[in-house]
Amino acid sequence: MIQIIEQGLIKASCDIVRPYAQISRGLALHSNYTPKVTPDLDTDSGYAIHLQCEVRIAIVNETACILTATHYAKVRVSQDMVDSASLLDKALLVTLPTILANDARATISRLSVMAGYPQAVLPMQNFDGLFTQLMANRPPVPTPLEVSGANHVH
């Protein structure tokens, strides 16, 4: 069981790289969406996670604006989840980022409009796929050396 104790926006910023870039009619804006999940494992049953999203709005392949939003959630998890590393990893790296992503998407959209650009609509991120890829690339846990029946002669 996951109980969200607190959640909110830590930081939102808009850096205008090209202040006088004019958007021509029919010119498509391109944005790169880079989510970054940072879990904070500081207590036995209380955890915090930060989701940072960065969007670079480009006009004619040149960055015009960089939008960032960092949302957080503080949660308490049940003891059975603490005892199961796979359940805890899934909660911290899939469930919570998925919840926070909706808030981050809304923040980025508002920032782009406030900066004078059309609304930036971020695609939904597949955190389950990212988690599966992370687990696949994780090095295997070493197993203890097995003692064989062979005798060692000095």
Cα-based angle 142, 146, 150 (whole degrees, multiple of 5): 150
Q: In a 10 Å sphere around its CB, with 0-12 CB exposed, 13-18 middle and 19+ buried, how is residue 55 labelled?
A: buried
Rg value, the chain, Cα: 22
Total number of domains in the chain? 1
Q: What is the pLDDT of residue 33?
A: 56
Joined together, the tokens standing for residue 149 give 């029946």
Hey, which of 9-18, 56-65, 137-146 has the most confident mean pLDDT?
A: 9-18
Residue 153, pLDDT > 70, answer: no
On whether residue 71 sits in a domain, the answer given is yes
Which residue would you say has higher pLDDT here, 70 or 35?
70
In a domain, 137, yes or no: no
Q: Is residue 130 part of a domain?
A: no
Half-sphere exposure of 18 (CA within 13 A, CB side): 14
Model confidence band, residue 9 (pLDDT cutoffs 50, 70, 90): very high
Domain range holding 70?
A: 2-123
Q: Kindly state whether residue 153 falls inside one of the protein's structural domains.
A: no
The verdict on residue 132 lying in a domain is: no
* Residue 135 phi, psi (nearest 5): -65, -35
Distance CA 145, CA 127 (A): 36
Q: Does residue 42 lie within any of the structural domains?
A: yes
Residue 116 tokens, joined: 């004078």
**Residue 6 has which token pair?**
């607190």
The CATH number of the domain holding residue 13 is 3.10.420.10
Categorize the per-residue pLDDT at 55 as very low, low, confident or very high, splitting at 50, 70 and 90: confident
| In-domain check, residue 148 | no
Residue 103 covered by a domain:
yes
